[in-house]
Amino acid sequence: MDQNQTTIEKDQFKHGQAVIAQIAETENFTYTDTKIQKPDLGQLRTNKIVSALTHNVWLESYKMLRTRTLHIMDEKGWNTLAVTSPTRDSGNSLTAVNLAISMAMELDRTVLLVDGNFQNPSVHTLLGLKATTGLGDYLLNSTPLSELMINPGIPRLVVLPAGKPLINSTEMLRSPRMINFVNEVKSRYPSRIIIFDMPPLLTQVDTLSFSPYVDCVLLVTEEGNTKTEDLKNAASLLQDVNLVGTVYNKSSDKKIKYTG
């Protein structure tokens, strides 16, 4: 083995250890290092973050989605999930946030929700969080994860916002630093579910490029709006990906429909 290769492997090992240390700072869920921002229940209701509320017609649908998704993931030994849609405005970010909260309600689970949509981030907005930094700062500036992660006042849930908009988002999502981060968080804490909110498949290449680094994908469509041709194109792009299911959002009977 040549000296350059040895140096690269040493650097990768050191970076992996650094990621583990940073993630560990947020793992005990006392939030001594992680920032806490209490949610505004009125804003959550306005933004349809129903998993954090009670007595609403959508709550049981998200519980069903959680149960069926976790059943498949547990059976396969998976703990990383990307949520996407064929096109814009299908509700995949809304689904990702509600699913993350619902999973965090399980007493034996912890959840990390990562906003991987650098060009149109919305996770922090949906949760009413004030976030000017995030994953982009970690990738570009090596900002410690403990300075970027936020607990939105919900036990067992930590959010990593997108942070800086990145023009070269595809390249950053496939960068060694990002891949190392995903691998470390996957292997270090197998009981933690990591959900990545990703851009639409047919408008940006980011999701397809990033999909090999997660265990599975959840596809969100909008009933009455997602075109059949778009759905077929999205399914074709995901043919080599572990598709955990398809969500039919905004359905007419006020239930979130799911197909495995």
Per-residue pLDDT of the chain (260 residues; tens, 9 = 90+): 455 544 444 444 454 444 444 444 444 434 446 788 888 888 888 888 888 876 666 788 889 999 999 999 999 999 999 999 999 888 899 999 999 999 999 888 899 999 999 999 999 999 999 988 999 999 999 999 889 999 999 999 999 999 977 889 999 999 999 999 998 888 877 789 999 999 999 999 999 999 999 999 999 998 778 888 988 999 899 999 999 999 987 655 555 555 66
**CATH number, domain containing residue 217:** 3.40.50.300
Looking at the 3D structure of the chain, how many domains does it have? 1
Domain that holds residue 187: 3-259
The torsion angles phi and psi of 202, rounded to 5 degrees, stand at: -90, -5
Pairing verdict, β 257-259 and 243-249: antiparallel
**Cβ-contact 179, 129 below 8 angstroms:** no
Q: Are 255 and 50 in contact (CB under 8 A)?
A: no
| pLDDT number for residue 27 | 44
Question: pTM for the whole thing?
Answer: 0.84
- 222 forms bridges with which residues in the sheet? 249
